[in-house]
Amino acid sequence: MKEWLQARHRGLFIRSYVVLAGGLLLVAILLDLGFSALQSRQVRAADPWLVSTFQLMESQLAAVPSADRAALASHLAETLKLELDLIDATDISSAAPLESGPRELQDDDGRIYYLWHSDALSGAIRLGPFEPAHESLVVRFLPVLFYASILLIVGLWLRPLLRDLRVLTVASQKFATDYREPLNTASSTTQLTSLARNLDDMSARVSQLIQSQKEMTAALSHEMRTPLARVRFAAAVLEGEVDEPLRAQLRAVNADVQQIDDLISDMLDYARLDHPGLRMSCQSVPLAPWLRQVLASCPPHERSVNTVQRDGLESAWMEPRLMELALSNLLANALRYAKQKVEVTVMRDKDVYRLIVEDDGEGIPESDRATIFRAFTRLDTSRNRDTGGFGLGLAIVARIAALHRGRVLAEASTTLGGAKLALEWPGP
């Protein structure tokens, strides 16, 4: 039960329970107060038996001379087994005027008296004291049991609903992690079976569509490389057998083929990173040789690339192959738009690693910084396909950051004046 309450949906359970139980308790309390007001002691003091008793005593006492009334009152009290007192008008003149009918009074000890104002006797008749009725423990705790039963009933009513929601939540989270296994929750629910069955059917269709799309993309990507290789080979053979004008056209064709091949490589990388079977193998990687390896794999360029390891940081916790791919894409993006300089900085702030790549290009407009990490997103300025981008490089970086439980941000470089892309991820 404790683990269940600590789950993510405990907020829904608490809110539902408070609303339902609180509403029922409020209604019960208001009804209780209303009944208590209707059953006040003033109403009980005017019961017919009490009025008849006072009227009978008044008629008998008024029929005798005033000197004999005290003796008659004692006789009536003894006969009726009641304590009866006559109060002269002078003894109650300082008190508040008596209302018509019996009036209930209570002393400091909780004993009850009934007072009857009589004009015929020029005073009042007082009956009492009477000991207040003692309630049994059952009657005393009956309201508590009533309110507790409301809480119990609401809890029992909510429990199967929240249990079904928990089953659906856990299964949905599992499906989001691995789309290859559709949901199977209908047999595990009791109240939300119809909803669970619809979700099961929907997840099965979604799983089939995603797998079919990924299989088709991977198959097409692999199959396209074979004819592209033949086209490139044929262009290379023909290039040595034709004159210069045709040779220039063949070089252009070869460049286009290379561009398509690069796009296929990016698509395969992106699809591979989105596969649920991908396993992370993070480790402590020495930064200096790792950075040299990544820079050596960059295509030839004329920009100046400077690397900085701040605070004497010598190693970083990462998956080296994936992080190498991320840095390669960040460098390719920076080298594509930089004018002269690119700077790579690796640093650690407490438990967070940061890999920062800056350039001195035109920078990224602030309105576009939140969208450039989406797949196939290109800006309308000079950062478009004509400069060699396909809109997948930064999407690959964002996916690698997510696999490291981190994020990637786009900002303006305060040192170089261009774009600043920062990949952040937590340590072990």
- Separation between Cα atoms, residue 339 and residue 343, nearest integer Å: 12
Domain with CATH 3.30.565.10 in the chain: 283-426
Structure tokens at 39: 């059953």
- Separation between Cα atoms, residue 120 and residue 63, nearest integer Å: 10
Structure tokens at 161: 């609903």
- Separation between Cα atoms, residue 387 and residue 249, nearest integer Å: 19
Give me the CATH topology for the region 283-426: Heat Shock Protein 90 (3.30.565)
- What distances in angstroms separate CA 219 from CA 137, 150, 225, 275, 279, one per listed residue? 79, 62, 10, 15, 22
Name the residue among 157, 100, 103, 149 with its Cα closest to residue 126. 103
What pLDDT is recorded for position 235? 77
What pLDDT is recorded for position 381? 47
- Separation between Cα atoms, residue 296 and residue 82, nearest integer Å: 113
Beta bridge partners of residue 117, listed in sequence order = 124
- Please state the length of the chain: 428
- What distances in angstroms separate CA 122 from CA 57, 58, 178, 186, 298, one per listed residue? 14, 11, 96, 84, 119
**Residues 6+ away with beta carbon under 8 Å from 354:** 345, 346, 347, 348, 422, 423, 424
DSSP per residue, 237-260? HHHTTS-HHHHHHHHHHHHHHHHH
- Determine whether 69 is exposed, middle or buried from the number of CB atoms within 10 Å of its CB (0-12, 13-18, 19+): middle
**In tens digits, what is the pLDDT along the chain, a chain of 428 residues?**
445 444 545 565 666 667 777 777 777 777 677 666 655 544 444 567 788 888 888 888 888 888 888 888 888 888 878 888 888 777 665 444 555 678 888 887 778 888 888 888 888 888 888 777 665 666 667 677 777 777 777 777 778 888 888 888 888 888 877 777 788 888 888 878 888 888 888 988 888 887 777 777 777 777 777 787 777 777 777 777 777 777 777 777 877 777 777 777 777 777 777 666 667 788 999 998 999 888 888 877 778 888 888 878 889 999 988 898 899 889 988 888 888 999 999 999 888 999 999 999 888 888 888 888 887 776 644 444 445 566 778 888 888 888 888 999 999 998 898 999 999 999 88
Domain with CATH 1.10.287.130 in the chain: 179-277
Structure tokens at 104: 């209930």
- Separation between Cα atoms, residue 428 and residue 426, nearest integer Å: 7
Structure tokens at 273: 């990173």
Angle, helices 393-403 vs 320-337, to 10°: value is: 150
Query: Contact 27/33 with Cβ under 8 angstroms?
Result: no
Query: Contact 379/298 with Cβ under 8 angstroms?
Result: no
Query: Contact 84/76 with Cβ under 8 angstroms?
Result: yes
Angle, helices 137-177 vs 10-38, to 10°: value is: 160
- Phi and psi, residue 324, nearest 5°: -65, -40
Q: Where are the beta strands (DSSP E) in 54-98?
A: 84-88
End-to-end CA distance of the chain: 31
- Phi and psi, residue 228, nearest 5°: -65, -40
Judging by DSSP bridges, how do beta strands 407-412 and 419-426 pair with one another?
A: antiparallel
Give me the CATH topology for the region 179-277: Helix Hairpins (1.10.287)
- What distances in angstroms separate CA 236 from CA 225, 228, 248, 299, one per listed residue? 16, 12, 12, 21
Helix (H, G, I), strand (E, B) or coil at 175: helix
Query: Contact 395/269 with Cβ under 8 angstroms?
Result: no
- What distances in angstroms separate CA 343 from CA 156, 259, 327, 330, one per listed residue? 62, 26, 12, 11
How far does Cα 395 stand from its chain's mean position? 27
